[in-house]
Amino acid sequence: MQRCLECAKKEPDRPCVECQYFVQLSPLRRVPSPPVRVLLEDEHGRQYPARILVLNTTEFGLETEAPVPGRYVIRLQENLWVEVAGVPFKGKNNVHVFDILCVHRKQGTARRLSREEYQLLAGSAGELIQEISRHLPEHLQDLVREKLLAEVEKSELINALRVGKVMKYEGGRFRYLSGQADLDLPMEEAEKLMRQAIRQAEHRREVIISADGQKVFDLHGVPFDHRSGGLLAFDITEVIEKERKMHQQEMQAYREAIAAVTGGRLYLVNSGEMEKVISEGTELARGEVRQTHDIPEARRAMREALPVLDSRRQHAIALCLTEALANALKHAGGGCWQARQSGDTVRIIVQDRGPGIKTSELARATLMQHYSTKNSLGCGFTLMLYYADHLYLNTGPSGTALALDFGVVPAGRLKPDKTNERG
């Protein structure tokens, strides 16, 4: 019998299944809880019950009476079995390391567990999927497991999934099977989803927000037959919150970088801040642009509404309005504009409902001269950055809003020595 000296010294009474000696410590080492029950089968067909205490993609830590060394087969699913060999000098009592020699799948063989197989055994989603499929009619089990795994993989939420609930739906009623019992699901929505899944005889997925708006659930409906199915529910509230925070941090970094590069003149703002920017001051004029012809019209209407300014300022404002409107027309098929005044500042605002500037494109679109995602000179932002004193930009999938500030001194208040600018 082998002893792990390190653990024996520290805590003589505890098994050392989690220590480095046993299964190499790596990001892929997992301790399934509870341990996964499997059967080891030797070449003569003798079977030994075993429990997977710890695993990575190339080794299992098994608790079993099976003799070590020795070669065994572990059947995980109909089409998935693993050949293992006990490592005699690694382990103690009934707990030993088993090397994964070969993984047999429907599609072929491999030397290690794939990500899906590994997660099937290690991750909470895997356990849940195992659990739910245990109650399925046999001919559906593999199919449903495969589909669910693919779906859960796709959702990219797998790593953050911790709690879940599995229920069976039959004859209009839900029966609790496993998982977190106190997960308070929106049952009305869940029933709708199950009815759809069963009627259409296919897997349905929906993300639903609880009635109080506090929780977000990822619901999967799996039809078993024409009148029953399984419901798999994950609470993804934390995941959503985490994603939102990451997005905020990313935007904050962009804001700071862009503000710094533009000498504090271009600000990326959120929609709340934009609301405020848009509502300040008093409105001088507004209009809409749907075709190129509307742009000179907008320029004319704005010139008429502006106070009398020196011609250079007037020209700068007209040019910036034109560039912003041309962008809205090109990228969003049109938009609306307004001119507002607050004290000695004229603010031009252009809004559209286009797809927005992608975050990854933002810096290039706003800061790089001659960068254009459409076929154009790509200098609209260059000009706006040059002429406007401050720019506020809010962009996202529901549209883009751009506000440009121009400090103006109405011509009536110009000092005599400056009036020569007006020719």
Q: Which is nearer to another protein, 102 or 326 (CB)?
A: 326
Q: Which is nearer to another protein, 179 or 380 (CB)?
A: 380
CB of 344 to another protein, least distance (A): 21
Q: Which is nearer to another protein, 193 or 321 (CB)?
A: 321
CB of 324 to another protein, least distance (A): 11
Place of tokens 């559209």: 352
CB of 293 to another protein, least distance (A): 6
CB of 374 to another protein, least distance (A): 11
Q: Which is nearer to another protein, 98 or 381 (CB)?
A: 381
Q: Which is nearer to another protein, 175 or 422 (CB)?
A: 422
Q: Which is nearer to another protein, 79 or 291 (CB)?
A: 291
Place of tokens 């301790």: 31
Per DSSP, what are the bridge partners of residue 96?
62, 91
Please work out, in degrees rounded to the nearest 5, the angle formed at the alpha carbon of residue 210 by the alpha carbons of 204 and 214: 135
CB of 231 to another protein, least distance (A): 55
CB of 57 to another protein, least distance (A): 55
Q: Which is nearer to another protein, 53 or 309 (CB)?
A: 309
Alpha-carbon span 41 to 53, nearest angstrom: 18
| CB 230, CB 132: distance < 8 Å | yes
Applying CB under 8 A, the residues found at the interface with another protein are 292-293, 295-296, 299, 311-312, 315, 318-319, 322-323, 326, 329, 369-370, 376-380, 382-383, 386, 423
CB of 313 to another protein, least distance (A): 10
Please work out, in degrees rounded to the nearest 5, the angle formed at the alpha carbon of residue 405 by the alpha carbons of 303 and 328: 70
214 CB burial (10 A radius; 0-12, 13-18, 19+): exposed
Q: Which is nearer to another protein, 77 or 372 (CB)?
A: 372
CB of 412 to another protein, least distance (A): 22
Copy the structure tokens of residue 130. 């195992």
CB of 329 to another protein, least distance (A): 8
Q: Which is nearer to another protein, 28 or 305 (CB)?
A: 305
